Chain A
Amino acid sequence: MTDAAYDLDKTVDARGAACPGPLMDLIGAIKSVDSGAIVRLRSDNEQSTTDVPEWTEESGNELLELVETDDGYDFYVKKA
């Protein structure tokens, strides 16, 4: 699936950031949007592929999809 398939409310580009930067950026974005909104996190940090799913699970938000891109990963997260 591509981002065109989602009605994105926000994109956070954390490519280049060291951990825990990408996850913290996602958490900040989730705080700032309404329930049901979809946030895309872009990260090229390997650690995000475990940090983000673990956090969404813990926090009750939903990781809709994790897409591998040419230069990292795109995470699509729906706020609970």
Chain B
Amino acid sequence: MTEEIVIVGAGTGGSVLANDLAERLDAEIDAGDVRVTLVNDSPDHVYKPVWLYVPFGKRESEDGRRPLSQLVDDRVDLRIDRVIDVDTDAKRIEYRDGTGPNEYDHLVLATGSTLAPDEVPGLREGGYDFYSEDGAEALREELLSFTEGHLVLSVVGTPHMCPAAPLEFVFMADAWFRERGLRDDVDITYTYPVNRVHGNPNIAEWARPKMDERDIAVETFFNAEEVDPDEQVISSMEGSELEYDLLVDIPPHRGVDLIEEAGLGDRGWVEVDKHTLEAKHAEDVYALGDTAATGVPNAGSVAHYQAGVVGQRLASHVRGYPATETYDGKTLCFIETGMDEASFVEFDYENPPAPAPPSEKLHWSKLAYNEAYWLTARGLL
């Protein structure tokens, strides 16, 4: 009997894992003892970090897309389909278009985040985001013609993808308007739901003085409750109101519905053991990347490290060895602090982040990583 490993979602985590397993289980796959299936609901792989640069006219969203068929190892069975149901008791999954396999021995959920702007009335109509391809393109149209007024960036909820990206956006916007001689005519306000400018206290302490220096106004404890698109006002649960001319928001995030329906965790995030990445409420189910509720940032670097852990654990199971590899919370992140400088942080469950002094070299490292990303997805880096 062939042992079925099914990975749902071919974003950063799912693609790296599929390529990792193709290497590790090469002999078993060739002998027909194991099959690795990677299912994704679109034929393209999407690299989301490119979207940060699209509104400023620095990148095109096509730069963040490649066909999965070019990135995924031939030993992996790639299926373009959507999984619509998971039954963890029967170890069965259901596909929208009906291509199998329906039974699995090991299931990995790497379905990522979805945006839920409708959770805040008026947000969809009143705000722009750079967290989707369409959003980033629509924001570019607005931003390129925005020459004066009040730009509000509101982080509506956490967790969200790339916790650094909202800070990066306001630092980049500040530098970009300065370069174009427009900064005196543009006010920038940044809002955050808790009493600091970032969830992590060390990053918040590092970022706050930079925002003050650059005249970026800050409103903390601001949990957006409603947006009035006609009056151009965003109001918070805490009772404050901000008038805006351009609202850029980080919309609420959720995982995919089938996770909640399968009883694996709330809001579509899979409850996992944060070291083994095994689902708490089902056997033989793993989750990685954004969908795994580990408390670490929703970042591609996290998905990448976690894929290596799950790859080793699955290969051990297949071969009947104890699985030894565990995830230690490792996260790496470049943080743009302007148009030509960036910082860098590295941290894990035990060691808090200490952001590096911003430099031009780190900015170029971030851009170089964005180019080299395609080697990461292919499992080469």
Contacts and interface: CB of A to CB of B under 8 A. Distances in A.
Given A18-B295, A21-B295, A27 B199 contact: no
A77 interface: no
A47 interface: yes
A55 B221 contact: yes
A35 interface: no
Interface in A2-48: 16-21, 23-24, 27-28, 30-31, 47
Given A24-B157, A60-B239, A55 B194 contact: yes
A20 B237 contact: no
B194 A59 contact: no
A27 B237 contact: yes
A19 B199 contact: yes
Contacts of A59: 221, 223, 237-239
A65 interface: no
Contacts of A23: 193-194
B158 A20 contact: yes
A58 B295 contact: no
B193 A54 contact: no
Contacts of A60: 238-239
Contacts of B201: 19, 47
B49 to A, nearest CB: 23
Contacts of A24: 157-159, 193-194
Contacts, number: 49
A68 interface: no
Interface in B34-71: none
B199 A20 contact: yes
Contact of B194 (A16, A18, A20, A31): A20
A16 B295 CA distance: 8
A54 B239 contact: no
B195 interface: yes
Interface residues of B, number: 18
A27 B223 contact: yes
Contacts of A54: 195, 221
Given A17-B295, A20-B158, A21-B295, A55 B199 contact: no
A23 B194 CA distance: 8
Interface in B181-239: 193-195, 199-201, 221, 223, 225, 237-239
Nearest to B119: A31
Contacts of B159: 21, 24
A59 B193 CA distance: 11
Nearest to B225: A31
Given A21-B295, A24-B158, A58-B221, A51 B194 contact: yes
Nearest to A24: B158
A11 B333 CA distance: 34
Among A28, A30, A58, residue most surrounded by chain B Cβ atoms (within 10 Å): A58
A18 B158 CA distance: 12
A73 to B, nearest CB: 17
Contacts of B238: 58-60
Nearest to A59: B238
A2 B378 CA distance: 55
B321 to A, nearest CB: 29
B147 to A, nearest CB: 35
Interface of A: 16-21, 23-24, 27-28, 30-31, 47, 51, 54-55, 58-60
The list of the 9 closest CB pairs from A to B, nearest first, reads A18-B295, A20-B194, A20-B199, A59-B238, A58-B221, A58-B238, A24-B158, A54-B195, A17-B295
Given A21-B158, A24-B159, 13 more contacts: A17-B295, A19-B194, A19-B199, A21-B159, A23-B194, A24-B194, A31-B223, A31-B225, A51-B194, A54-B195, A54-B221, A55-B195, A55-B221
12 contacts: A16-B274, A18-B296, A20-B158, A20-B194, A21-B295, A27-B193, A31-B237, A58-B195, A58-B238, A59-B223, A59-B238, A60-B239
